[in-house]
């Protein structure tokens, strides 16, 4: 095939290498076509989609309807008042198109055999499948059609979180702030805190993975975000009770100190003795009972905070085991102080006589 003379014809050699290049191109085309076909058939296994409300609009999500292993994981996360997907459908679409492009370009730019045998300024390449060919466009359309069929499921699953929309749009925070602006009994605070606790527990029990045929929704970040919001609102109510309790207890101490300081001042003059006696009578007739009532309320607030306030676990156990002893001690000390005031009143009565 190789000419003997320098000016001999190379037609036979060129024909040989052209034949080899044609055979190589045919094999490469077959490989690319088969790879693209396998790629499309793989995704067409998911062509039944994930619209779980298509047959019955009232039906709810049922994980047993989606037993096929998903291909893509989409993470749900809170984007302000909305729930977003990561990656987005557009990003997945672009990724699939890049995969097809990668399959096609993987067999491109393959040099012909003569390029390795002879020095040539022009690099000869084997013909390959181009991206603009009909087969590539058809495969792309088949794959993207499957993707479109699986778009409704994730959007429908978001309705599982409709009842928590107030947490995302800060409406619940506004309702809590409005609740705390008004005076409420401990029973109302207890109900509010229990509702928030029940809501957090409810969110904890929600699915962390939601298979939807082609997609698998990762709900962990969204669930944790919602739980964090609920706990923040719950702690806000508890902190309000702690601050309110501190203020009321300081008022009790202030009122008691006023009584104690007035009684403990020596009465050198008759007028001072009369004023002290009148104050003692008033204290014994009304102030003491009002203080006793306020201390009773303080006991209830203490028991409430021992139950719901956040504290180290071991410290809370110690308090809960000894709370009745602590309350009895507070009550006994108040009775002792009341007895002291009563004896002081009798002493002043005796002094007047």
Q: Give the model's pLDDT for residue 344.
A: 44
CA distance 318 to 325: 11
Contact 331, 216 (CB under 8 A): no
Is residue 313 over pLDDT 50? no
Sign (positive or negative) of CA dihedral 292, 252, 185, 322: negative
- Cβ-proximal residues to 304 (8 Å cutoff; 6+ apart), any chain: 186, 189, 190, 241
Q: Which CA distances in Å does 345 have to 47, 62, 277?
A: 92, 77, 7
Is residue 298 over pLDDT 60? yes
Most confidently predicted of 17-31, 48-62, 187-201, 273-287: 187-201
Q: Give the model's pLDDT for residue 53.
A: 87
Q: Render pLDDT for 177-218 as a digit per residue (tens, 0 to 9).
A: 999 998 888 889 889 999 999 999 999 999 999 999 999 999
CA distance 24 to 99: 23
Q: Render pLDDT for 139-170 as a digit per residue (tens, 0 to 9).
A: 999 999 999 999 999 999 999 999 999 999 99
Is residue 340 over pLDDT 50? no
The encoded tokens of residue 31 equal 């490989």
Return phi, psi of residue 80, to 5°: 70, -130
User: Cβ atoms within 10 A of the Cβ of 104, count?
Assistant: 20
Q: Which CA distances in Å does 290 have to 49, 295, 299?
A: 71, 9, 14
Q: Render pLDDT for 100-152 as a digit per residue (tens, 0 to 9).
A: 999 988 877 777 766 666 666 667 766 777 888 889 999 999 999 999 999 99
Identify the weakest region by mean pLDDT among 27-31, 127-131, 261-265.
261-265
Q: Give the model's pLDDT for residue 306.
A: 78
User: Cβ atoms within 10 A of the Cβ of 177, count?
Assistant: 13
Contact 210, 220 (CB under 8 A): no
Q: Give the model's pLDDT for residue 266.
A: 64
Averaged pLDDT for residues 229-248: 89
Q: Give the model's pLDDT for residue 109.
A: 75
CA distance 113 to 18: 10
Averaged pLDDT for residues 238-253: 84
Quote the pTM value: 0.76
Averaged pLDDT for residues 45-74: 90
CA distance 140 to 186: 64
CA distance 156 to 199: 22
Rg (CA), the chain: 42
Q: Give the model's pLDDT for residue 307.
A: 78
Averaged pLDDT for residues 319-329: 48
Q: Give the model's pLDDT for residue 226.
A: 96
Most confidently predicted of 5-19, 59-73, 109-123, 242-256: 59-73
pLDDT band for position 96 (cuts 50, 70, 90): very high
Residues pairing with 74 in the sheet: 217
Is residue 232 over pLDDT 70? yes
């Amino acid at each position: 095939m190789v000419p003997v003379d320098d000016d001999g014809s190379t037609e036979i050699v060129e024909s040989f290498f052209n034949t080899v290049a044609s055979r190589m191109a045919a094999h490469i085309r077959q490989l690319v076509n088969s790879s693209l076909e396998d790629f499309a058939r793989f995704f067409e296994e998911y062509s039944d989609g994930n619209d779980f409300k298509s047959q019955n609009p009232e039906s709810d999500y049922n994980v047993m309807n989606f037993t096929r292993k998903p291909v893509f994981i989409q993470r749900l996360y809170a984007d302000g008042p909305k729930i977003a997907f990561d990656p987005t459908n557009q990003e997945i679409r672009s990724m699939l198109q890049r995969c097809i492009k990668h399959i096609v370009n993987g067999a491109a730019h393959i040099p012909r055999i003569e390029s390795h045998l002879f020095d040539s300024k022009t690099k000869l390449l084997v013909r390959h499948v181009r991206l603009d060919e009909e087969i590539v466009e058809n495969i792309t359309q088949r794959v993207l059609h499957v993707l479109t069929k699986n778009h409704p499921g994730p959007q429908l699953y978001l309705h599982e979180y409709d009842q928590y929309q107030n947490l995302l749009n800060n409406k619940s925070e506004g309702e809590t702030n409005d609740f705390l602006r008004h005076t409420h009994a401990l029973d109302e605070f207890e109900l509010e805190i229990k509702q928030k606790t029940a809501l957090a527990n409810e969110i904890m029990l929600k699915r962390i993975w939601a298979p939807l045929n082609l997609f698998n929704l990762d709900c962990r970040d969204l669930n944790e975000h919602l739980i964090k919001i609920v706990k923040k609102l719950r702690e806000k109510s508890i902190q309000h009770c702690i601050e309110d309790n501190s203020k009321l207890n300081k008022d009790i101490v202030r009122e008691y100190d006023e009584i104690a300081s007035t009684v403990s001042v020596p009465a050198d003059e008759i007028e001072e003795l009369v004023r002290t006696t009148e104050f003692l009578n008033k204290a014994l007739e009304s102030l003491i009972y009002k203080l006793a009532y306020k201390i009773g309320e303080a006991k209830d607030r203490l028991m409430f905070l021992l139950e719901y306030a956040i504290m180290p676990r071991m410290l809370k156990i110690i308090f809960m085991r000894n709370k009745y002893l602590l309350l009895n001690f507070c009550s006994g000390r108040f009775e002792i102080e009341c007895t002291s005031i009563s004896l002081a009143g009798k002493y002043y009565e005796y002094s007047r006589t």
